[in-house]
C-alpha cells in the first residue's frame, strides 16, 4: 500500500483448508495432513492422496471397498474431494467438486502447469487407469485452487502398489491400536510406546512405518541392522542432542515451496543446517559401516546455509513487513536507506547549527509538522532587526514567527520521509529474491528432510529398545 499511487489491488493469495494448511499455529506437529480425491466406477475405488507438507501425491488405483476402507482408516484424510457425497460415509470434510475436474483434459492442463508435461506418460503414470488419472486431475486442480501458486516442491505422482506392503484391513488396524486406541486416543498405542523421536517430522515418519509395513523382509532387516549398530555404538544420545536442535524441516520446506515461508522459518532452516556438519562428522567416524552410511546420506547444503547466514539477521522480525530481517552488509542500497533513516536526527541538528552560524541568527529553530513538513522558524522580532538569508523560501506565516524552507531542507525532507518506506520495500524485494536459490535446492532439501526423519526414527527405536532391554527377533 505504501508504494501504491491509487486504489490498492486486492486478491485472494491463499485459501486455508483443513487438509492443506502448513502453518504450525493451525496443526499439531505430529499430525499428517492428507487430501483425498475419490473416483468411483462400479465396485472399484481410485484415490489420489496429496500432502502439501510432504510435497507428495500417491495414487491408489482401482481398490476394492475393503481396501479403500482400510486406506481411509490408516491415512485419516482431512478432506475428501468427491462428486457424490452419498458414496463416502465418513466424518472427513467432504468437498464437492464439479465433474469437469475429473477429466483427462483437465489432467493434461494440470500436468503441464505443475510438471511441464502433456500427459501421464511424462510423469511415469502409464500404468494408471483412467479412473486413477481422473482422481489425480481433481486433486491437482484443488491444490492449485487453494494454494494459488506453483507447486514447486511437489514430486511427481507415484502409483502405490499393494504387492510390496502388508495390507491391514480396517478392523485389524483398530484392534491392533497402532496409532489410536479403540476409544480414539493416541495415548497407550504402539506409536505412543515407540515414539521417542526428537523432531516432528520423525514422529510422522514413524507413524508411516507402523501403518504400512513391508512384505519383503529386506528393508526391515536393514532397519534392524542400523538399530543394532546404534545401540552398540552408544551414539543415540549424540544423535538425539543434534536432532533436538533441528526444526520441522519438512513443513518449512513446504512453505518455501509455496513461497509462504516467514523469516523465522528461514532462520530455523539456517540454524538446523548448522547442526549437520558435526552430526555427520560423528556418524562417519564410527567403526560401524552402517552408521557411517547414515552419516554419508546427510547432505550439508553449504551454499544454502551460507546464503541464509549472509542474508538474514540472527533474530529477525516475525513478519517481513516489520523490517529488521535482512542483515546489514548484505545489500548496499538497503544499508544506505537504513543509515539515512537512522541518522536523520543528527543530520537535522547539523543543518540547524550550520544555518545559525551562517546567518548569525541564534534564535533560528528547525521544526516539523505533518502539514508543512520540515521548516526553519524565525521570530518576527528577530526579522525586524535582521533579514532572513537569501536562500530561505517563505513557507508559512504565523502571528509571531515566519517559517521557511531551503532547497537543501526540501531535498532532505523528501529523502527522510521516503527512506523508511523505501527501506521496507527494498527489504521485502531482497527477502522474496531469496526464494529463487532456495527453489533451486528444493529437491536436495526434501531429500535431507527424509534422511533426517529416517535417522530420527531409527534412533528412537534404538533408544526404546535399549531402555526396555528388548532383543532382536
Which tens digit of pLDDT belongs to each residue from 50-60?
999 899 999 99
Spatial separation of the C-alpha atoms in residues 171 and 184, rounded to whole Å:
14
Contact call for residues 242 and 279 (beta carbons, < 8 A) = yes
Contact call for residues 131 and 46 (beta carbons, < 8 A) = yes
Of 300-309, 341-350, 424-433, 463-472, which range is least confident? 341-350
190: left (phi over 0), alpha (psi -120 to 50) or beta: alpha
DSSP bridge pairs for 37: 48, 81
Spatial separation of the C-alpha atoms in residues 102 and 86, rounded to whole Å:
17
Largest CA distance in the chain: 105
Spatial separation of the C-alpha atoms in residues 60 and 307, rounded to whole Å:
40
Which H or E element spans position 377? Answer: strand 373-379
- For residue 405, what are the contacts with CB-CB under 8 A and spacing of at least 6? 373, 374, 375, 376, 392, 393, 395, 413
Is there a shared CATH topology between the 35-165 domain and the 337-429 domain?
no
Question: Which pLDDT band, with edges at 50, 70 and 90, does 89 fall under?
Answer: low
> Does position 296 have pLDDT exceeding 50, yes or no?
yes
Here the cell at position 446 is 526434501
Spatial separation of the C-alpha atoms in residues 405 and 471, rounded to whole Å:
86
**pLDDT at residue 90, rounded to an integer:** 63
Which H or E element spans position 404? Answer: strand 401-405
184: left (phi over 0), alpha (psi -120 to 50) or beta: left
Chain centre distance of CA 397: 56
Question: Which pLDDT band, with edges at 50, 70 and 90, does 216 fall under?
Answer: confident
Question: Which pLDDT band, with edges at 50, 70 and 90, does 1 fall under?
Answer: very low
Question: Which pLDDT band, with edges at 50, 70 and 90, does 204 fall under?
Answer: very high
Q: How much of the chain exceeds pLDDT 90, in percent?
A: 50
Q: How much of the chain exceeds pLDDT 70, in percent?
A: 96
Quick one: average pLDDT of 301-320? Answer: 93
Q: Please state, as a whole number, how many other Cβ atoms lie within 10 Å of the Cβ of residue 400.
A: 8
Secondary-structure class of domain 177-301+441-468 per CATH = mainly alpha
Quick one: average pLDDT of 110-119? Answer: 90
**pLDDT at residue 9, rounded to an integer:** 65
> Does position 6 have pLDDT exceeding 80, yes or no?
no
Which H or E element spans position 401? Answer: strand 401-405
More confident residue, 164 or 326: 326
- For residue 471, what are the contacts with CB-CB under 8 A and spacing of at least 6? none
CATH number of 337-429: 1.10.1420.10
- CB burial string 106-135: b at 16+ within 10 A, e below: bbbebbeebbeeeebeebebeebbbbbbbb
Quick one: average pLDDT of 59-74? Answer: 88
**pLDDT at residue 87, rounded to an integer:** 60
Quick one: average pLDDT of 268-291? Answer: 93
Quick one: average pLDDT of 246-264? Answer: 92
Residue among 196, 198, 192, 168 nearest 180 (CA): 192
More confident residue, 350 or 229: 229
Quick one: average pLDDT of 281-285? Answer: 93
Of 109-118, 238-247, 346-355, which range is least confident? 346-355
**Mean pLDDT across the chain, nearest whole number?**
88
How much is the pTM?
0.79
- For residue 184, what are the contacts with CB-CB under 8 A and spacing of at least 6? none
> Does position 5 have pLDDT exceeding 70, yes or no?
no
CA angle 417/419/420 to nearest 5° reads 90
What is the domain partition of the chain in residue ranges? 35-165, 177-301+441-468, 337-429
Contact call for residues 195 and 460 (beta carbons, < 8 A) = yes
> Is the CATH number of domain 35-165 3.30.420.110?
yes
Amino acid at each position: 500500500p505504501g508504494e501504491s499511487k491509487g486504489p490498492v489491488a486486492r486478491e485472494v493469495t491463499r485459501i486455508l483448508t483443513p487438509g492443506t494448511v502448513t502453518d504450525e499455529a493451525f496443526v499439531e506437529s505430529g499430525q499428517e495432513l492428507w487430501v483425498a480425491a475419490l473416483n468411483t466406477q462400479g465396485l472399484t475405488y481410485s484415490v489420489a492422496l496429496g500432502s502439501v507438507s510432504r510435497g507428495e501425491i500417491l495414487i491408489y488405483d482401482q481398490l476394492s471397498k475393503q481396501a479403500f476402507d482400510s486406506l481411509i482408516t490408516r491415512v485419516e484424510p482431512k478432506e475428501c474431494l468427491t462428486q457424490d457425497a452419498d458414496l463416502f460415509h465418513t466424518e472427513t470434510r467432504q468437498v464437492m467438486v464439479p465433474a469437469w475436474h475429473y477429466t483427462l483434459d483437465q489432467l493434461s492442463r494440470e500436468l503441464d502447469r505443475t510438471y511441464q508435461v502433456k500427459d501421464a506418460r511424462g510423469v511415469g503414470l502409464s500404468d494408471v487407469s483412467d479412473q486413477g488419472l481422473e482422481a489425480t486431475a481433481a486433486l491437482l486442480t484443488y491444490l492449485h485452487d487453494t494454494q494459488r501458486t506453483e507447486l514447486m516442491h511437489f514430486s511427481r505422482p507415484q502409483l502405490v502398489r499393494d504387492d510390496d506392503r502388508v495390507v491391514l484391513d480396517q478392523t485389524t488396524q483398530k484392534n491392533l491400536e497402532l496409532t489410536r486406541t479403540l476409544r480414539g486416543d493416541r495415548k497407550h498405542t504402539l506409536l505412543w510406546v515407540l515414539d521417542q523421536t526428537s523432531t516432528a517430522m520423525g514422529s510422522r515418519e514413524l507413524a508411516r512405518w507402523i501403518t504400512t509395513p513391508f512384505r519383503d523382509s529386506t528393508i526391515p532387516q536393514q532397519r534392524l541392522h542400523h538399530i543394532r549398530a546404534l545401540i552398540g555404538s552408544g551414539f543415540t544420545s549424540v544423535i538425539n542432542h543434534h536432532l533436538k536442535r533441528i526444526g520441522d524441516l519438512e513443513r518449512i520446506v513446504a512453505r518455501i515451496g509455496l513461497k509462504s515461508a516467514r523469516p523465522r522459518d528461514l532462520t530455523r532452516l539456517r540454524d538446523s543446517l548448522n547442526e549437520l556438519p558435526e552430526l555427520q562428522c560423528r556418524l562417519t567416524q564410527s567403526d560401524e559401516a552402517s552408521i557411517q552410511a547414515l552419516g554419508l546420506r546427510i547432505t550439508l547444503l553449504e551454499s544454502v546455509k551460507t546464503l541464509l547466514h549472509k542474508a538474514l539477521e540472527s533474530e529477525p522480525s516475525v513478519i517481513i513487513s516489520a523490517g529488521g530481517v535482512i542483515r546489514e552488509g548484505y545489500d548496499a542500497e538497503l544499508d544506505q536507506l537504513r543509515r539515512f533513516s537512522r541518522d536523520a536526527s543528527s543530520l537535522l541538528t547539523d543543518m540547524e547549527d550550520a544555518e545559525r552560524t551562517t546567518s548569525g541568527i541564534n534564535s533560528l529553530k528547525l521544526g516539523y509538522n505533518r502539514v508543512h513538513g520540515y521548516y526553519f522558524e524565525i521570530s518576527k522580532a528577530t526579522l525586524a532587526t535582521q533579514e532572513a538569508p537569501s536562500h530561505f523560501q517563505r513557507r508559512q506565516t504565523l502571528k509571531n514567527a515566519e517559517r521557511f524552507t531551503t532547497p537543501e531542507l526540501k531535498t532532505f525532507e523528501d529523502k527522510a520521509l521516503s527512506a523508511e518506506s523505501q527501506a521496507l520495500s527494498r527489504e521485502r524485494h531482497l527477502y522474496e529474491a531469496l526464494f529463487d536459490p532456495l527453489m533451486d535446492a528444493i529437491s536436495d532439501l526434501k531429500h535431507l528432510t527424509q534422511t533426517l526423519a529416517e535417522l530420527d526414527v531409527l534412533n528412537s527405536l534404538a533408544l526404546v529398545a535399549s531402555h526396555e532391554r528388548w532383543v532382536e527377533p
